[in-house]
Structure 1
Amino acid sequence: MSAEQNSDQHTDQIYLRDAFCQTVEASVIDVRDDAVALDRTVFYATGGGQPHDTGTLADAQGNSWQVSNVRKEGDLVWHWVDGEPPPAGTAVTGAIDWERRMQLMRTHTALHILCGVIWNEWGVLVTGGNMEPLAARMDFEFSPLPEGFAARVTELVNAEIAADRPIEVSFLDRSVALADPELIRTKVNLIPEWVTDIRVVDIVGLDRQADGGTHVASTGAVGRFEITKTESKGKGNKRVRMVLHDA
């Protein structure tokens, strides 16, 4: 198992600033039986309803490892690998499965469009959600769903996709961010208290939210949105299931 973590060790999460960076040169800074922590990474760690990236690590000697899971613990991002992991100090090249990442980015952006459309149309908060590549669910505080809801939302979401709105990422001091109630669209604030700089994802002119996930550069990259099912999950909680198609 890993030795006690040095308090100065941390992983630079490149994807928070650049979601389109696909590879990284990094060093192994800590090791477990089946995982390594890197000093910098392009691998998204599971969180906020978005699944982790997969991909490979490789060293200069031609050894390679498949990355099957990625989790953030404290200041470190851990990468679970097949076989014996490389020792601390090893220089590695990390490469994500770009097709999977792009599908997840399209999906995550589609959920923000969905959230923005519903907020602007009905002022309703999100109560939960989850995603996989090109499919997702999101729960909203509706009771009941408005008449003609699915058709209206589908029309509005696809119109926002066609508008090809730019998507911008910025960082705000926690006190500034939390002073704006519209930045938190979930019924419960899920941002840990220790987070001092809050990342904000802005679909310009539509939706601006605190968010730690990866997104496409503009809404036009999302594809065609379809609602496959709506469900009641109890009073004041309605579920929307969606898929994406290539445009």
Structure 2
Amino acid sequence: MLLWQGVQTRIEGVRKADDLTLIPAEDDPVPPAGTAVRCAVEDERRTALMRTHSGLHLLCGVVFRDYGCLVTGGNMEPLSARMDFDLREVPPGFKQAVEDACNAEIEADRRIDVRTLPRAEAFDIPDIIRTATNLVPPEVQDVRIVDIVGLDTQADGGTHVASTRQVGRITVAKVENKGRGFRRLRIKLSP
């Protein structure tokens, strides 16, 4: 949100072209050009996104550990998300097994650590890239590492909660076939 002259403008999106354009909520006032503004992040939304992002890492860690599958895509909103995997065949009971394994990791209350390593050192960590394509640009020399201790270690730039218990319960809402052996898992987190 933008804060200016005692007024609050909610920002609902960003459009990127040559510059970034903030998209205000439809009926919110917009500050006149040249007005000094402060920016703030709505804590409830930020926390929900942190929980969801950590939940996706947890999901990725479980599916990689139990099925050896890499991520081919994903997206998230507060408390709901999807992650796509390179999974040729869906084993019987897959959906429930993944959900149960994720929730067991939540109950384990694993610590989530964040650190930065020089690129060469980061890429010496086995399986540091859990996506089918390495998305870390070559010019990035310091790589941020997110570690769900004992489950999942990945290069990542997003915000996270401090432990798996803070993610809350995960429900695997749906498993979809996206063609050529790609599967999409849709998850929901408890409010």
Instruction: Output the TM-score relative to the length of structure 2.
Output: 0.87
Q: 2:156 — aligned with what?
A: 211
Is 1:134 matched with 2:79? yes
Change (3 A) 1:87 1:178: farther
Matched, 1:161 2:84: no
The 5 Å alignment of 1:85-104 reads: 87=34, 90=36, 92-104=37-49
Unmatched runs of 5 consecutive residues or more in structure 2: none
Which amino acid is the alignment partner of residue 239 of structure 1?
Answer: R
Structure 1 CA distance for aligned equivalents of residues 21 and 139 of structure 2: 20
How far 1:85 sits from its partner (Å)? 5.4
SS in 2 for 1:69: strand
From 172, 187, 191, give the equivalent of 1:242: 187
Cα separation, partners in 2 of 1:72 and 1:214, compared to 1, 3 Å? farther
Segments of 4+ moved more than 4 angstroms: 70-74, 76-82
Match of 2:88 in 1: 143
Higher relative contact order, chain-length normalized (CA < 8 Å, sep 6+): 2
| CA displacement 1:28-57 (0-9 Å, x = unmatched) | xxxxxxxxxxxxxxxxxxxxxxxxxxxx22
Check 1:240–1:63 CA distance in 2 against 1; reply closer, same or farther (3 A cut).
closer
**Residue number in structure 1 paired with 2:6:** 62
The alpha-carbon distance between structure 1 residues 169 and 71, as it changes in their structure 2 partners (threshold 3 A), is: farther
User: In 2, Cα distance between the equivalents of 1:219 and 1:72?
Assistant: 33
Matched residue of 2:137: which SS?
Answer: coil
Cα RMSD over matched residues? 2.3
* Secondary structure, counterpart of 1:179 in structure 2: coil
Looking at structure 1, the residues matched to 16 and 126 of structure 2 have their Cα atoms a distance apart, in angstroms, of 27
Name structure 1 gaps, 5 residues minimum.
1-55
Q: How far apart are the structure 2 equivalents of 1:231 and 1:198?
A: 32
Relative to the length of structure 1, the TM-score reads: 0.68
Deviation at 1:214, TM superposition (A): 1.1
Letter in 2 for 1:129: G
Tell me the amino acid that sits aligned with residue 146 of structure 1.
Answer: P
- State the alpha-carbon separation in 1 of the partners of residues 68 and 103 from structure 2: 19
Would the alpha carbon gap of residues 71 and 161 (structure 1) be closer, same or farther in structure 2, given more than 3 Å must change?
farther
Deviation at 1:71, TM superposition (A): 6.9
